[in-house]
Amino acid sequence: MNSILDLLIWKYLWVFSLEGKVKEKIHDAFWDHLKQQISATPPDFSCALELLKEIKEILLSLLSPRQNRLRSEIEEALDMDLLGREAERGDLHVPHLSKRVLNMVTLLCAPVRDEAVQKLENVADPICLLRGIFHVLGLMKMDMVNYTIQSLQPHLQEHSIQHERAKFQELLNKQPRLLDHTTKWLTRAAADLTTLPPAGPDAPNSSSVACPSPNEAANRPEPVSPAMVLSQGFLNLLLWDPENEEFPETLLRDRVRLQELESQLRQLTVLAAVLLVASSFSGSVLFGSPQFVDKLKRIAKAHMEEFHSRPEEAMLTVSEQVSQEMHQSLKSMGLAALSSDNTASLIGQLRSIAKEENCVRSVIDQRIHLFLKCCLVRGVQRSLLDLPGGLTLIEAELAELGQKFVNLKNHNQQVFGPYYTEILKTLIPPSQAPEAEGASL
C-alpha cells in the first residue's frame, strides 16, 4: 500500500516539477523572442506593446478608487494609442518606458516589496528590467488578493456566526429541549466555582479557581460572573468522560477539535514532566542550551503515540534515551557524567511518569490547566508572562495550545452567547453577579 502511495506521490511531484520547468522554458522563450524583436532592423514592437498593455492593466487594477492622480499618470505614461504610433515610426523608447514603469511600481508597492524593487533600479538591460517588473507586479497582485481576503475576513466571520446561529435556532424550534445538556454543563461549571474554596496552583482543584497572579499574597473569593462560569465550563470539557453522552449540544461540532486539544494537553503534560525531572539532575548546566532541550523534546515527542497505548514501554525507552543524551552532552562539555546511582534514579523517576498518579505529572497537569484558565481570562500573551513553575521549557507549545483553545472558545461564544446568557441568568443570582459586569457575555 505504501509503495503504491509513494509511487503516486512521486508521479505527482514529477508532473508538477515538469510543469514548472515547461512554464519556465516558455517564459524564457518569450523574453528571448521579445529581445530579438526589439533588436531587429527595423525593430518589431508588437510583443512589447502587448506587454506594456498588460502592465498598464495590472497597474490600474492595483489602484484604489481615490488614487486619481496616479491613475492619470499611468494613463498618460502608457497611452497605448500614442505608443502604437511611436512603434509604427520605429522610435518606441523601451528603456525609457521601462524606467517610467518602475517608478510607478515604486509608488504602488507595499514596503515588503521595496527590496525587490530596489534591486531592479540597478538593472540596465531594458528586457531584463521589464521581466523583473513583471515578476514584482505578480507579487503585488498576490499582495492585493491577500489584503482583500484579510479585509473581508471579519465580514465573512460574522456571516458564518449568524448562519451557524440561525441553523441552530431552526433545530431548537423543532426540539425545545435541545439545550438540556448545555444547561447541565453550565450548571456543573457554576457549581465548581461556587462550592469549591479557592485553592493554590497545585491544589487538586486548581482549575476551578479564578486565574491568580503569582504576585498575589493570598487568594480571595471573587464574585461569580457569567464569563467565569463559561470559562470553567470550557476547562471541564478538557476533562470530559468519553462515556458521558450528555455532551453540550452547542459544542457537538467542536467535539473532535476539543478531543485533539485534550490529547495535545496530555502530551504536553508528559513532555513537561520529562523535562522537569531531567533538569533536576543537571540544572542549567545542560538545560541552559536550547539545542539540548530541543533534543530531549524530540526524544519524548517521538514516543507520544506509543505512550497513549503502552505508557510503561514508551517511558522505558524515553528514560534510557534521555539518560544517554545527558551522559553524552556532559561528556562533550568535559564535565563529570552522572553517577550510577543518579543515573538509576533518573531512569526510575522518568519511568514512573507512566503512572497517572505520578506526583510530577499531576502537578504539571494542574499547572497547564491553570495556564489555560488564565488564557481564557487574560489572553495568551499576558498568561505567558506569568507561567507557573515547570512550564517555561514548553512555552512555545503552550502558546500554540492556548491560542487554539481560546480561538475555539471565542468562536463558540460568539455563536451561542445569547443562549448561554439566558441559561446563566437562571444559575447566577443577581446578588452574586459582579456589578461591573452585565448579565450578558
Q: Which of 222, 294, 308, 208 is nearest to 264 (CA)?
A: 308
Question: How much is the mean pLDDT over the chain?
Answer: 85
Mean pLDDT of 17-38: 73
Q: What is the total residue count of the chain?
A: 441
Position of cell 471573587? 222
pLDDT digits (tens, 9 = 90+) for 339-356: 999 999 999 999 999 999
pLDDT digits (tens, 9 = 90+) for 288-309: 889 999 999 999 999 988 898 8
* Lowest-confidence pick of 102-111, 179-188, 260-269, 309-318: 102-111
pLDDT at 200: 45
Q: pLDDT band at residue 165, thresholds of 50, 70 and 90?
A: very high
* Lowest-confidence pick of 66-70, 221-225, 323-327, 333-337: 221-225
* Lowest-confidence pick of 113-127, 187-201, 377-391, 408-422: 187-201
pLDDT at 218: 36
Q: Is residue 335 predicted with pLDDT exceeding 90? A: no
Q: Is residue 199 predicted with pLDDT exceeding 50? A: no
Q: pLDDT band at residue 400, thresholds of 50, 70 and 90?
A: very high
* Lowest-confidence pick of 214-223, 313-322, 341-350, 362-371: 214-223
Mean pLDDT of 270-281: 94
pLDDT at 303: 92
Residue 182 one-letter amino acid? T
> Is residue 147 within 8 Å of 109, Cβ to Cβ?
no
pLDDT at 17: 53
Q: How far apart are CA 89 and CA 313, in angstroms?
A: 84
Mean pLDDT of 165-177: 94
